[in-house]
Amino acid sequence: MVRYLDQKGGKLNAKECDKLLFWFAQAGMWGRYSASTESTVDQDLSALEGDDGGLEKLLQQLWLWHGDFRVEPNHFTGWGLGARFYPMLYLISRMGEAQDWGNGLPLKANMLGKMSKLESHHIFPKAKLYKKGFDKTRVNALANFCFLTKNTNLNISDTLPEIYFPRVEEAHPGCLASQWIPQDQELWKIENFEAFLEARKALLADEVNKRMRELMHDETHWLDKTASVSSGLSSIIGGVSDEEEETQLLALNEWMSENQLPHGEFRFDFADPVTGSQVAVFDLVWPNGIQEELTQPVVVLLNEGKEVIAIASQAGYRCFIDINSFKEYVRDAILGEGKAA
């Protein structure tokens, strides 16, 4: 993006800006840089060079690699804050007409004031879903997230949708639909949670496709092209499951800084080295070791299943499943303080 901007002398018109954002969003959605990063970057930079280089060629290269720019409901099947489509949920919330459920105000990027920062909100509360026997992949399903201001998030707390949704709709008509909530009130009941997720995934996919078409103005042919290439998203496992895990991992990165050591890569997309398809999301990773090229690659995986740990181990990572054991390793093997420290 910076190279293209440089080629244009630092000036883009509105249409070029939108088209560049379209490419950026698409590259992120499909994990363009999940594997063989350097060679992929080189390919994309080359697409900008020469008389025929530019955004059209960059998009063509991305399409040939992935095969389809349209979003389907199953692309929102992921879970946790590390889901690849989690940023898209945030993006459409800021780009579109999404409204806060407490005050009815639009959640635009130019919101002002101390309460303008958005928080992720579990539509169906975590505690009550766990009590009903749902596992963390369902509780933290992407379609169970929305974004609200802090006050609204606190006020709703662990109230069930069948109770607070009617209140929201009465106070601010259309507010629920603005956040892609299915209007069938039967789906607002916790016993129909799975059906709610499926219905909302379809609404979210429609919204992303709508926003992508708007970014391309009259050049919608990219969204009409299809190819028989699978994204492999349905098999992606792992990832940061909630705000508590995120806080712990970010605090660990701060601890590393305090010890003059490099940050790990947060919510790392791990891709199959052969196919380039994303396989898992690792919580916090040092892919070249904490002392680059001198120590073994390491990963911190909190509350992950055996499958994720096995993938990381087979890829050559030293795995830590809790923060204290990781810190002990750093003190002993990197800082040379020994276990007594």
Of 72-86, 100-114, 154-168, 235-249, which one has max mean pLDDT? 154-168
pLDDT band at 172, cuts 50/70/90? very high
Please check whether residue 227 lies inside any domain of the structure: no
Gap between the Cα atoms of 11 and 28, Å rounded: 24
Q: What is the mean pLDDT of residues 9-29?
A: 92
Tokens standing for residue 31:
């994990």
Do 126 and 171 belong to one domain? yes
Q: What is the mean pLDDT of residues 225-234?
A: 47
pLDDT band at 281, cuts 50/70/90? confident
Please check whether residue 225 lies inside any domain of the structure: no
In the predicted structure, residue 241 carries a pLDDT above the cut 70 = yes
Of 56-60, 199-203, 309-313, which one has max mean pLDDT? 199-203
Q: What is the mean pLDDT of residues 50-68?
A: 85
pLDDT band at 341, cuts 50/70/90? very low
Counting the structural domains of the chain, the total is 3
Do 111 and 177 belong to one domain? yes
Q: What is the extent of the structural domain holding 139? A: 73-213
Element (H, E) at 265: strand 265-271
Percent of all residues in the chain with a pLDDT value above 90, rounded to a whole number: 54
Q: What is the mean pLDDT of residues 333-341?
A: 68
Please check whether residue 111 lies inside any domain of the structure: yes
Q: For 191-205, write each residue's pLDDT tens digit.
A: 999 999 999 999 999
**Residues counted in the chain:** 341
Do 91 and 49 belong to one domain? no
C-alpha dist (Å) from residue 133 to 114, 128, 165, 304: 37, 9, 23, 18
Residue written as token pair 């609404």: 203
